[in-house]
Structures are given as structure tokens and as C-alpha cells.
Amino acid sequence: MSRVMVVGAGAIGLTVAHELAVAGHRVRIVADRAARDSVSAVAAAIWFPHDVAVDDGVLESARVTYRRLESLAEDPASGVVMRSGLVRIRHADPDLAWTTAIPRSERVPDGVRCVLPVVETGRYLEWLGARVAALGVATTRAELDDLADQSDDLIVVAAGLRSGALLGGDDEVYPIRGQVVRLANPGLTEWILDNDHPDGLTYVVPRAGDVVCGGTGQAGDWNEQVDPATEAAILERARGLVPALAGQPVLSRAVGLRPARSQRRLERIGRVVACYGHGGSGFTLSWGDAARVVELCAR
């Protein structure tokens, strides 16, 4: 049993804290933002490797996370639901490695049909936070400048965009700006992902009370303000794919900065474990990477 500090309270940080506590460690969380204010709360949060370099390790974490989210979907309180939909394919030689991480998929003329977990972020982050607290994990709101004066046996850095600076200047970390708009749901149950839309990244992800429409993938853009012109373009693309969205009122809008890197970083350096650089795949890799962090902490 070790005393472990987890830096970060987004989807990755909370999941890591949960699994470390279950494994018997004494865990605390230190984060500059609450989960509800993190980029995790902005995400459409459908299981899909996005804005992350896909390798065998990523696929394995995605596979583990799929199974865990599928299990959690049996509990309505978790905020996880399994929904069918279409990954749109627009070119002749698509990379379908991600399909090896899910139980089944079907190639159809316009893409790949499958069932994926969709996480209703508000409910899920609150549920997960409560589960973590019930395991005895305390959370402190603070912005750390460095890790040198921390007395914990182990430190897990899962602080998104701030992770590189905490680890002594990992300058590979950069933001990918994502903007979404949430519409009233006219009764949709199926999602659609169109990463290769000629006018830009497009996705429509229905949830119980709304539909998340996106998006953008603006690498290096630190702007967290909603841009009206970008929103108009998102809605035009989304309504083009799903005409039933026409006339639906806007319920909310948001911007989040995905913490990207040339490759997501998951390794132990002395008493520090790095777990960041997930791009748009935080929810997709969360449980698998958390299991790997537990292994690294046991070494």
C-alpha cells in the first residue's frame, strides 16, 4: 500500500484514483479544476479513439474501457448507455484498426455500423466522483507549480494540458480546440461520426436530454470562447447529415481544449507515473489506462 497523489480530476484522473483506491492504495486528488469544469465535461464522450496516435497499447486500453463501460451501462445511475450508429467512411482505404477493440462491427456501403458506449458526461462525472469519494479519496482544489515538495510515495500526473509543465517541460503537449453545440433531442437514438466530412469534423451524438453536435479539431488553438461563426458551420454540417435536427433549439454550447501529444504518455519515471496526452480519447482509454497505472504503481 502506497500514498498516491493523483493530479487532475477529469475522466482520466478520477478513473485512475478509483482504480488505485480499489487496489488498496491511500489516494488523494489535487486538481485546479473540478470535474464539471474540465474538458471532460464538454466532450460528446462517445467511445472512439480520436486525436490520439493509435498503437497496440492504445487499442488494448480502448478494448478494456469498452468492456468496462458496457458493464457500467447496466446501471442507469452511471450515465453510460450503449447506442448504435454509423462511422461514416469517405475514402477508399480507411484505418479500421479501432474495430479490433470492439466485439462486433458491420461494414456497410457508407461506413461502419456498430454499438458504442455513450457517456452522459454530467451524470457520469458526478457518479464517478461519488464512487471515488466513497472509497475514501479526498479531493483538494489547488494549482501545483511543481512536484518537488510533495511527500506522497507516488504521484500520478493526469492533469491534461498542464501535465507537461509539471513534468519539467514536456513541450510535446498541445491543445486541440473542440467546440460543441447541444440541441434539443427530437427523438434521435443513433449517433453518426464523420471525421472525413469535406467541410470539417462532424458528429451528432444523441443523449437522453439533448444532442451533442460538433465539432472542431483546431490544433494549437487556446481559445476557450464560443465562436458564433464556428457554431453556425457546425449546425449546418450536422443538419446536413441529420435533417431531423432542423428547427431544434440550442440548449447550450461549450468549448474544450483536448490535451494532445504526438503519443499519449503512459510510463513511470521514478516515483512519478505519467498518464496524459489522450487528445479526444480520454473517456475511450480511461479504464484501460487506469489499470495500467495501477500496474506501474506496483513496480
| CA distance linking residue 59 with residue 177, whole number of Å | 24
Please state, rounded to an integer, the average pLDDT across all residues of the chain: 96
pLDDT at 158: 97
> Which 8-state DSSP code applies to residue 179?
E
Instruction: Domain of residue 162: give its range.
Output: 3-297
Q: Where does the chain show beta strands of DSSP type E? A: 3-7, 26-31, 80-88, 106-108, 111-119, 138-141, 154-157, 174-183, 191-194, 202-206, 211-214, 218-219, 250-260, 265-269, 272-276
Q: Which of 215, 251, 254 is nearest to 235 (CA)?
A: 215
Q: What is the CATH number of the domain that holds 134?
A: 3.40.50.720
**243 vs 147, 186, 191, CA distance in Å?**
51, 11, 13
Percent over 90 (pLDDT), the chain:
93
Give the tens place of pLDDT for each residue, 8-28: 999 999 999 999 999 999 999
| CA distance linking residue 284 with residue 59, whole number of Å | 10
pLDDT means over runs of 10, the chain (299 residues): 95 98 97 92 95 96 98 97 97 93 97 98 96 97 88 95 90 96 97 95 96 96 97 98 97 96 96 96 98 95
- CA angle at 85 for the pair 15 and 131, rounded to the nearest 5°: 20
Q: How many domains does the chain have?
A: 1
pLDDT at 1: 82
DSSP 98-151: GGGGSS--EEETTEEEEEEEEE-HHHHHHHHHHHHHHTT-EEEE---S-STT--
Cα Rg of the chain, angstroms: 19
| pTM of this prediction exceeds 0.75 | yes
